[in-house]
Structure 1
Amino acid sequence: MNLSRMLAARAAEGRPVTVGVIGAGKFGSMFLAMAARRPGIHVAAIADLSPSRARENLERIGWEKDRATARDLDDALARGITFVTEDAAVVNDERIEVVVESTGNPAAGIRHALAAIEARQHVVMVNVEADVLAGPALAARAAKAGVVISMAYGDQPALVCEMVDTIRAMGLPVIAAGKGTKYLPRFHESTPDTVWGFYGLSPEDAAKGGMNPQMFNSFLDGTKSAIEMAAIANATGLEPPEDGLMFPACGVQDLPHLLRPVADGGILPRKGMTEVISSVERDGRPVMGDLRWGVYATFEGETDYIRRCFSEYGVRTDDTGRYAALWRPYHLIGLELGVSVASVALRREPTGCSDAWRGDVASTAKRDLKAGEVLDGEGGAMVWGKCIPASRALREDTLPIGLAHGVKLLRDVPKGAALRQSDVALDVDNEAVRLRREMAEGARGVLAAE
């Protein structure tokens, strides 16, 4: 409860938390809009592949014109302004305390995180794709280096982690946790060419808004949901589903009824799961009390007294009073990211961190794929991501969605099948591939010991 006071104290001392941001897209820009208003945080450097685009975004979000005019990092630190560059290595300066990685590219995210850890800097990973691909391995390296790597507050995984941790700290068992989205089974086949129809937009209107069809398609086709649930599993110990998310249609009033074990009348195979709920019924009708933009957790009152307390204070429960739910209707994305920056710098505490490999996202064919084709990755026209246990991913050698971009197929894969790593020509010298395989080998060793 003291982060704002701690930031104010740093501001009063004239030594704000120094931050380097890599990637000034939507999420990064939302954080930058707030950082400019938060005494105690100084964004000293912004690295983006297109500095001109980054400057346009800064103007659009209301930055003063002279705020991003530093000649170099020395000038930025001396004058309390910002240096904008295309060179991501600039942020790995010992005078920058926190690196915010918000590129959305898993290979780039791993590369940037490793560089920051080597430079003894804390890392806030907006890049959930990189976190799911090799987050536990990155966390182990960060711990060894004495720095913190954290999920991004404002993004749904970190908010779910906070909710789960709070409930557990009370002493209540968490039964399920996750988020809401708009889902229909046919969305799995959506491509960047068809995505805008599902959103009720024309391609022209989407282009005017600067909306990236492949990114939005990842949200629609279920891949982003799978990535976020795998991240939550890796950070909380909740279990991912064995064969993909169910996406049940569910409003907040039904959370404790549906998100409880099958044995007690719900849909969960067991207690302690991750799941995503849909804001529409399977016939397309809107769900009453939907949680499309929010997060939730269900939990259990294990004694008559605790269940009576639920009733006395109006807690939403199932018909038995045993299972209850909390939820948050919205998340504010990058507008909330300053919480992570302050937490890692001032408390040395992450707002969610992948501490073990429990969940993964398997690349699944959207159509019949032919040998020789080159995969177009997350949100593309060829594969979507299915959330599965890491043990299954290891056993079946599935191709993680984070490695499914720009790689050539070596054999045909039928529609609906999970791709295996042996189905594609992976670059064994690629840093992301190497780290992922290092993590997998470590997991095999643990399983062998058991």
Structure 2
Amino acid sequence: MSYVDRLRARERELGRPVRVGLVGAGQMGLGFVVQASRIAGMEVAAIADIAPERGRQAFAQAGRDDAVTGGSRAELARAIESGTPVVTDDAQTLTGLPLDVLVDASGVPEVGAQLAFAGLLAGKDIAMLNVECDVTVGLLLARLANGLGRVYTVCRGDEPVECKALVDYVRDIGFEVVCAGKGKNNPLNPAATPDSVADEAVAKGMNPHMLASFVDGSKTMIELAALANGANLRVAARGMTGPHCTVEALAETFRPATDGGVLPDAGVVDYCTGPVAPGVFVIGRSDHPAIVEEMAYLGMGKGPYYSFYRPYHLASVEAPLTVAQAVLDRTPSLAPQAWNAEVLTVAKRDLRQGESIDGIGGETVYGLTDSAANARTGGHVPLGLAAGARVLRDVSAGTVLTTADVAVDETTTIATLRRLQDRLLEGEEVLGAWI
């Protein structure tokens, strides 16, 4: 039975649809609201945005011009229960409203951490369009959700989740996963800033900080770290290899160097520039003669490496599927299974002692994926903790920042959760060594 059929059946049984609370009514949030409004048995019942007018406009585009703005939590709750959508400027308000799932589309790691932690404790399922938060504290949030009988998940539509579905498929049919990854939409320019991409952002109708995070590579690094942790794959080299590639050449390119490819090893994540974007891919391997013969007959190439390719990802249009999966199946679309990858913070320009880091997609830093082991032994600062950090000494552009270079703002929720996650991982390492 399809999700829509099951959502309708649930609505008939309970007398109401799945109620979703959304944080962030920007480009991704708007798409989510409009698409969810077209799915029977599901509704966005509340939006939190620092600019409430964006929330009202999102509801209006979804055909609802009756949204209630402001009022006490009790008043907002009564409105929701009567079928009237509400808008607030405080994300934390959503945790106390009669909602089933909280979706974070803010893209701000601290906002995601606050919402997810408080929401889980309040008995809500959490669905993240905020992958930046997931690659910082996602393992802790997933463990907390499991312990509380809730679901913590990254949303479908983003490349990590759609690629994870391909990984599962390739493993399920008995192939070895050699590489999983995505095409990068923009040529890589680590020096890109909101100012340098401003004209392009206007032309595309994008937030310049978001576009800068795409162009400087941070978003690709974040997404592939989430995939590595969610699919239990590795990062073979800092920054990965990132060759230019076509769809037809995927299986020839993303194989170990010993077999003529670019990979240092198998079982890794990677990306490419070129016409593979906006798709995701998995390279699977099977060398049994019968399978090689069958795959050749089926037009999949000569083997033993084969490409499995999805030519699109639909961002916020597909994200409501994760809400349905969480509510109906009680499983995540993607959540960290292990902590294999980190996104390190790199100086985008020369930084001076006393400066403050402005965060992802800004003027000062970009992200670079590496193994979690390398990040830990090098004392490197995760990109998700960089916003608001204070520069302790002059560093040159291109420096991978450590705790000797910058002081993280330890008063934030995400920093607190990160320290708890670090202790959790340290305890597991000690236990593993003892066993």
TM-score normalized by the length of structure 2: 0.94
Supply the distance in 2 between the matched residues of 1:382 and 1:131 (Cα, whole angstroms): 22
Deviation readout 1:184-210 (Å, 9 max, x if unpaired): 45x01111111246xxx3x7x44xx65
**Does the residue aligned with 1:380 lie in a helix, a strand or coil?**
coil
2:228 paired with 1:233: yes
2:63 paired with 1:66: no
2:106 paired with 1:103: yes
Determine the structure 1 residue equivalent to 2:10.
10
Supply the distance in 1 between the matched residues of 2:186 and 2:24 (Cα, whole angstroms): 29
| Counterpart among 295, 299, 304 of residue 314 in structure 1 | 299
One-letter amino acid of the counterpart of residue 27, structure 2: K
Determine the structure 1 residue equivalent to 2:282.
297
In structure 1, stretches of 5+ residues that fail to align are 280-289
| Cα offset, 1:263, TM superposition | 1.1
1:48–1:85 Cα contact (<8 Å) kept: yes
2:393 paired with 1:411: yes
| Counterpart among 82, 86, 89 of residue 89 in structure 2 | 86
2:386–2:408 Cα contact (<8 Å) kept: no
| Counterpart among 334, 355, 359 of residue 377 in structure 1 | 359
Determine the structure 2 residue equivalent to 1:223.
218
One-letter amino acid of the counterpart of residue 295, structure 2: F
2:179–2:266 Cα contact (<8 Å) kept: yes
| Cα offset, 1:62, TM superposition | 4.1
Deviation readout 1:296-334 (Å, 9 max, x if unpaired): 11101231111122112122x3xx421101111111110
Determine the structure 1 residue equivalent to 2:345.
363
1:70–1:76 Cα contact (<8 Å) kept: no
One-letter amino acid of the counterpart of residue 111, structure 1: Q
1:407–1:424 Cα contact (<8 Å) kept: yes
One-letter amino acid of the counterpart of residue 401, structure 2: L
One-letter amino acid of the counterpart of residue 194, structure 1: S
1:133–1:400 Cα contact (<8 Å) kept: yes
| Counterpart among 154, 158, 161 of residue 151 in structure 1 | 154
Supply the distance in 2 between the matched residues of 1:35 and 1:65 (Cα, whole angstroms): 16
1:364–1:419 Cα contact (<8 Å) kept: yes
Structure 1 residues 164 and 222: CA distance shift in structure 2, 3 A: same
Deviation readout 1:248-290 (Å, 9 max, x if unpaired): 10111001000111111111111111001101xxxxxxxxxx1
Determine the structure 2 residue equivalent to 1:167.
170
One-letter amino acid of the counterpart of residue 216, structure 2: D
Supply the distance in 2 between the matched residues of 1:428 and 1:67 (Cα, whole angstroms): 37
2:69–2:88 Cα contact (<8 Å) kept: no
Structure 1 residues 147 and 52: CA distance shift in structure 2, 3 A: same
| Counterpart among 411, 420, 424 of residue 429 in structure 1 | 411
**Does the residue aligned with 1:405 lie in a helix, a strand or coil?**
coil
| Cα offset, 1:67, TM superposition | 5.6
Structure 1 residues 375 and 34: CA distance shift in structure 2, 3 A: same
Structure 1 residues 37 and 76: CA distance shift in structure 2, 3 A: farther
2:355–2:391 Cα contact (<8 Å) kept: yes
Supply the distance in 1 between the matched residues of 2:77 and 2:377 (Cα, whole angstroms): 50
2:136 paired with 1:133: yes
Supply the distance in 2 between the matched residues of 1:142 and 1:194 (Cα, whole angstroms): 40
Supply the distance in 1 between the matched residues of 2:94 and 2:358 (Cα, whole angstroms): 30
2:59–2:67 Cα contact (<8 Å) kept: no
Structure 1 residues 69 and 426: CA distance shift in structure 2, 3 A: closer
Determine the structure 2 residue equivalent to 1:337.
319
1:45–1:90 Cα contact (<8 Å) kept: no
2:47 paired with 1:46: yes
**1:250-269 map, 5 Å:** 250-269=245-264
Structure 1 residues 68 and 168: CA distance shift in structure 2, 3 A: farther
Determine the structure 2 residue equivalent to 1:121.
124
**Does the residue aligned with 1:104 lie in a helix, a strand or coil?**
coil
2:194–2:362 Cα contact (<8 Å) kept: yes
One-letter amino acid of the counterpart of residue 109, structure 1: G
Supply the distance in 1 between the matched residues of 2:412 and 2:67 (Cα, whole angstroms): 37
Supply the distance in 1 between the matched residues of 2:150 and 2:191 (Cα, whole angstroms): 41
| Cα offset, 1:7, TM superposition | 1.1
| Cα offset, 1:135, TM superposition | 0.5
**Does the residue aligned with 1:349 lie in a helix, a strand or coil?**
coil
One-letter amino acid of the counterpart of residue 311, structure 1: A
TM-score normalized by the length of structure 1: 0.91
**Does the residue aligned with 2:190 lie in a helix, a strand or coil?**
helix
In structure 2, stretches of 5+ residues that fail to align are none
Determine the structure 2 residue equivalent to 1:188.
190
Determine the structure 1 residue equivalent to 2:23.
22
Supply the distance in 2 between the matched residues of 1:429 and 1:374 (Cα, whole angstroms): 15
2:376 paired with 1:391: no
Structure 1 residues 56 and 95: CA distance shift in structure 2, 3 A: closer
| Cα offset, 1:419, TM superposition | 0.3
Supply the distance in 1 between the matched residues of 2:54 and 2:237 (Cα, whole angstroms): 42
Determine the structure 2 residue equivalent to 1:211.
206
Supply the distance in 2 between the matched residues of 1:347 and 1:223 (Cα, whole angstroms): 32
| Cα offset, 1:353, TM superposition | 0.7
2:420 paired with 1:438: yes
**Does the residue aligned with 1:190 lie in a helix, a strand or coil?**
coil
Identical-residue share of aligned pairs (%): 37
Determine the structure 2 residue equivalent to 1:275.
270
